[in-house]
């Protein structure tokens, strides 16, 4: 895992700063063909690259919305994959439009055009590694991991299709993700 940190201190969610105890992890994907971390994280720290539109989430209400996740996974300026922690893990995020904000760490994976197998494999592995890391910190298991669409079915998140609309294109789903995560937790 290539874990970096750039806390979105200007985001309203960070400023409110409500503390919570993580009970799970919710995976999201951005829903936009833009795999670059600089789209969502700023300012440029020297490896992100510059967001020429300055529409990253390190502002009070990005695009007028109350949104913030704990981490983004995507491409650095040089094309390599990284994870950026954007909120302290124990500050409640605004990532699912539902009750899971009170219980789950939110991880956002930057989508590409959904068809690049190499990119998908890279961010999928990075997501697994981040989940292993967080599971060990917060004593979580694979059973505590879900995606936004699963959260909706459980009544704890708004109606979104992520990440299943993307994972299924690459012969993956959350059951496979949890199976692989369980294996990693047992052997890491």
pLDDT tens for 54-82 read 999 999 999 999 999 999 999 999 999 99
Tokens of 100: 């899971």
Contact 12, 60 (CB under 8 A): yes
Three-state DSSP at 151 gives: helix
What are the domain boundaries of the chain?
A: 3-187
| Whole-number pLDDT of residue 152 | 98
Spell 124-159 as b/e; 16+ CB within 10 A means b: bebbbbbbbebbeebebebebbbbbbbbbeeebbee
Whole-number Cα distances in Å, 29 to 34, 163, 183: 11, 6, 23
CA distance 70 to 105: 6
What is the rounded average pLDDT of the residues 117-143?
99
Kindly tell me the burial class for residue 110, based on how many C-beta atoms sit within 10 Å of its own C-beta (0-12, 13-18, 19 or more).
buried
Strand partners, 77: none
Contact 19, 73 (CB under 8 A): no
Answer yes or no: is pLDDT of 188 > 90: no
| Whole-number pLDDT of residue 79 | 98
> What architecture is domain 3-187?
3-Layer(aba) Sandwich (3.40)
């Amino acid at each position: 895992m290539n874990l970096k940190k750039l806390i979105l201190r200007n985001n309203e969610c960070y400023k409110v700063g409500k503390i919570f105890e993580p009970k799970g992890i919710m995976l999201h994907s951005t829903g936009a063909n833009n795999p670059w971390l600089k789209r969502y994280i700023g300012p440029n720290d020297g490896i992100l690259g510059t967001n020429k539109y300055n529409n990253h989430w390190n502002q009070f209400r990005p695009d007028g919305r109350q949104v913030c996740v704990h981490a983004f996974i995507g491409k650095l300026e040089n094309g390599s994959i990284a994870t950026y922690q954007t909120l302290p893990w124990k500050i409640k995020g605004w990532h699912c439009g539902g009750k899971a904000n009170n219980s789950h760490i939110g991880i956002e994976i930057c989508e590409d055009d959904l068809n690049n197998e190499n990119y998908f494999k890279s961010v999928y592995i990075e997501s697994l590694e981040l989940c292993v890391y967080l599971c060990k910190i917060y004593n979580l298991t694979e059973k505590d991991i879900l995606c936004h669409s699963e959260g909706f079915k459980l009544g704890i998140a708004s109606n979104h299709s992520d990440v299943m609309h993307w994972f299924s294109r690459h012969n993956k789903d959350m059951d496979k993700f949890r199976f692989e995560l369980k294996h990693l937790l047992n052997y890491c």
